[in-house]
Amino acid sequence: MTVPLDEAVPIDPIDPIEPPGPAPRRRHRPGGDPVKALLHRHRELCERAVDPLEIAAGLEAHGITDRTAARFRHRDVFSLAEELYARTPRAQSTPAAPAGIPVDPRTVRGLGYALLPGALALGAAAAGVPWAGALAVLAALAGLGRPLRAGRSAVPVYLLAAAVTGWAVLRHGTPLGVALAVAVAPGYLAGSWFASRSRRRLAGSRALEDFADGVKPLLVGTVLLFTAAAAGAAAVAGAPLPTAVPLAVLLFLTRLMLAHGAPRRFVAASMALALVPVAAAPFAAAAGLLVPAVVALSRASAHARP
């Protein structure tokens, strides 16, 4: 039977027998390798780092947290830092430290320098030289470290510290300056111990919050140990404890903040408070600096290797 032309099945305009044209080009989705982009952005940090911990500290300093690391498909900043460290090309591996040296020679050399201010101040006071008080002030300021190494932003802090120490010695006598100078050595030991324990804590942490929770009580304990040592130094020098101990703690916290690159504005504000001619001013200044010190020094970025 013949089918009428008007009832015929319509023909598809695209002939299925005809070979198909070239397949459409697939678009590459952005962000296929987000870690590669992060590596390019922080290449200098990754190439300079000697271990993944230093990269983790540097990332935190740039505002990358554990929550941010999830966008790079990692559970925390430490895991992200490990991948960045592994993917960073290096010309040669970092030489390992000699196994036969149990103590860092720089620590021993630094302790020798830290003992010098107290010895000079004690010697000048015992000899009865008229400039013993000024020498004791300079010796106590030497415990803060080298101003040029701390950076240009630390110059106002050093000037305020000189004003606070000089004003206190002028009011309370040379023994106060001697006590502050003698406290430089235990302050150096306490600061070195805190830095090494914090670095060890950083190596065992797997999250930034975990590290901060462990470092905060460590810092408070370090400050308490130094407070006891400062009281002993004041007793040896014959200085008044209510003034000598808070001032020594204030200088110790200032040294920690400068050494670990913490914000200087809190230190400057505390030093300015210590200049108020009130008996409780040194104690208020030291207590006020302890809070920002705990916050700043509990960050992993504060313990990156210099």
| In the predicted structure, residue 10 carries a pLDDT above the cut 60 | no
Query: What is the C-alpha separation between 237 and 133, in angstroms, rounded?
Result: 12
Q: Is 21 buried (19+), middle (13-18) or exposed (0-12) by CB count in 10 A?
A: exposed
In this structure, are residues 175 and 237 in contact, taking their beta carbons and an 8 Å threshold? yes
Res. 209 pLDDT band, cuts 50 70 90: confident
Conformation bin of residue 278: beta by default, left when phi > 0, alpha when psi is -120 to 50: beta
Residue 197 pLDDT greater than 50, yes or no:
yes
Among residues 173, 180, 150, which one has the least CA distance to residue 249? Answer: 180
| The residue type at 44 | E
- Measured CA to CA, the distance from residue 220 to residue 88 in angstroms comes to 37
pLDDT digits (tens, 9 = 90+) for 46-102: 888 887 878 888 888 888 888 888 888 887 888 888 888 888 886 554 444 444 434
Question: Which single residue is written with the structure tokens 């240009």?
Answer: 152
pTM of the predicted structure, to 2 decimals: 0.75
Rounded to whole angstroms, the Cα distance separating 204 from 283 reads 35
Distances (CA, A) of 162 to 239, 252, 271, 280: 18, 14, 10, 19
Tracing tokens 């509990």 back to the chain, one arrives at: 298
Evaluated on CA atoms 296, 302, 303, 306, the torsion sign reads negative
Rounded Cα distance between 57 and 108, Å, is: 27
Are 237 and 179 contacting, i.e. CB atoms less than 8 angstroms apart?
yes
| d(C-alpha 136, C-alpha 118), whole Å | 8
pLDDT, residue 139, reads: 95
CB contact at 8 A, 225 and 248: no
Q: What is the SS3 assignment for 57?
A: helix
Q: Give 250-306 pLDDT, tens digit per residue.
A: 999 999 999 988 889 999 999 999 999 999 999 999 999 999 999 999 988 788 665
Q: What is the CA radius of gyration of the chain?
A: 31
Distance CA 37, CA 6 (A): 63
